[in-house]
Amino acid sequence: MRRHDLDWLRVIVFALLIFYHVGMFFVPWGWHIKNNVIYDWLTWPMRFLNQWRLPILFVISGMGTYFALNKRNGYQFVGERVKRLLIPLVFGMAVIVPVQVYAERIYNNQFAGNYFDFWPQMAFMGVYPEGNLSWHHLWFLPYLLVFSIVLTPLFLYLKNNPNAGLIGFTRRIIAKPLGLYVFLVPLYFIESLVEPFFPSTHDLFNDWFNFSNFITLFFFGFLLMTVKEPFWQVVQQRRRTYLYCGLVGFTLMIGLRVIWEDSVLIHFIEAGFMVFNFWSWILAIFGYAATYLNKSGKLLSYSNEAVYPFYILHQSVTIAIGLYLYNLEWAFWIKASILVVGTFGISWLLYEFIIRRIALIRPLFGLKSRKINADYKIENPANAK
């Protein structure tokens, strides 16, 4: 049975990603281009989002994989993943991401000229950051593709053996009070023992902390779906407990960073707070979503298909707008509003009037082949008589 709450969460989290990347324009953290005025206060809501936004995306992706494998064999699933992930990645690196690199080179006075002087003459020269070829915000796609291929044999085993020991253990453990916190054990060891030696790079090959952390969360998503309704019943019943745990965990994590300087001991303590914190928020979000969002509708159907093209487009649109705004002496709320409205608006125009309607373009943005009737409403061929 389709989980509409997962569809809603996917849409909501990717929408928050647009707000997050708009925020990156204004905070002290490194990003491709920065506003002429930096706002330290904005780091606090950004930290709150940053703690769980990526982990929950990989958990949701693992849950979606469970549904995908119920309809396909292993070869069909891998083929579908290649089509839906690799094609948009290659297209995005060739067409969408160069806009960001061009804007960054202009911003840093590393290039002078218009965009057509930059692309294709320089857009594919060398690997970023020394060169210009990059996947930038699309790093999520190669990671998800590799995770899907690597874990497919294990997923097929679990799918074909519903009474496997690991599934039985998961059923038993989630029935216990706070039993879902057992999943913190591997996450804690990754955070405490791997993260200090492998800073985040998003280059796939030398990014061992992100790789090990996100593939674990991706697997957890699939595993939790194998126990089916008991998981959703637990997160619904205990959603308030998880919410309180998240509030406590976030407070402890922030307090530790503010009061004590970093050290080996503090790192191991902070790692515990961090994983407890983001896992609590993920469980709380699932619980509230299962309670209030497990319902379909036209808005969800439209948004669920639009979210992938929006993800591919949004950061290039944000940075392109930011290139014209960064040096203006305008207030924060004016610039932020222009960036948010402009990013959503331009992405929607491109999606609604080009991507959604042109059959040859749809696969470049990871969309399935569908027919569009005279009213521009998408029809699913599977439902056709």
Tens place of pLDDT per residue across the chain (385 aa): 679 999 999 999 999 999 999 999 999 999 999 999 999 999 999 999 999 999 999 999 999 999 999 888 999 999 999 999 999 999 999 999 999 999 999 999 999 999 999 998 888 999 999 999 999 999 999 999 999 999 999 999 999 999 999 999 999 999 998 999 999 999 999 999 999 999 999 999 899 999 999 999 999 999 999 998 999 999 999 999 999 999 999 999 889 888 887 778 888 999 999 999 999 999 999 999 999 999 999 999 999 999 999 999 999 999 999 999 999 999 999 999 999 999 999 999 999 999 999 999 999 999 987 644 333 333 333 333 2
Nearest to 54 by CA among 188, 267, 217, 207: 217
Contact 193, 186 (CB under 8 A): no
At residue 1, the pLDDT reads 66
Q: What are phi and psi of 58, to 5 degrees?
A: -70, -35
The string of DSSP codes covering 260-309 is S---HHHHHHHHHHHHHHHHHHHHHHHHHHHHH-----HHHHHHHHHHHH
Residue spans per domain, the chain:
4-383
State pTM to two decimals.
0.93
Residue 145: other Cβ atoms inside 10 A: 18
Q: What are phi and psi of 379, to 5 degrees?
A: -110, 135
Calculate the dihedral angle through the C-alpha atoms of 356, 362, 364, 368, rounding to the nearest 10 degrees: 120
Q: Is 35 helix (H, G, I), strand (E, B) or coil?
A: coil
Query: Given CA atoms 71, 77, 79, 85 in this order, what sign does their dihedral have?
Result: positive
What's the first-to-final CA gap in the chain, in angstroms? 22
How far apart, in whole angstroms, are the C-alpha atoms of residue 47 and residue 18?
15
How far apart, in whole angstroms, are the C-alpha atoms of residue 344 and residue 349?
9
At residue 215, the pLDDT reads 98
At residue 157, the pLDDT reads 96
How far apart, in whole angstroms, are the C-alpha atoms of residue 326 and residue 322?
6
How far apart, in whole angstroms, are the C-alpha atoms of residue 148 and residue 218?
9
At residue 150, the pLDDT reads 97
At residue 376, the pLDDT reads 32
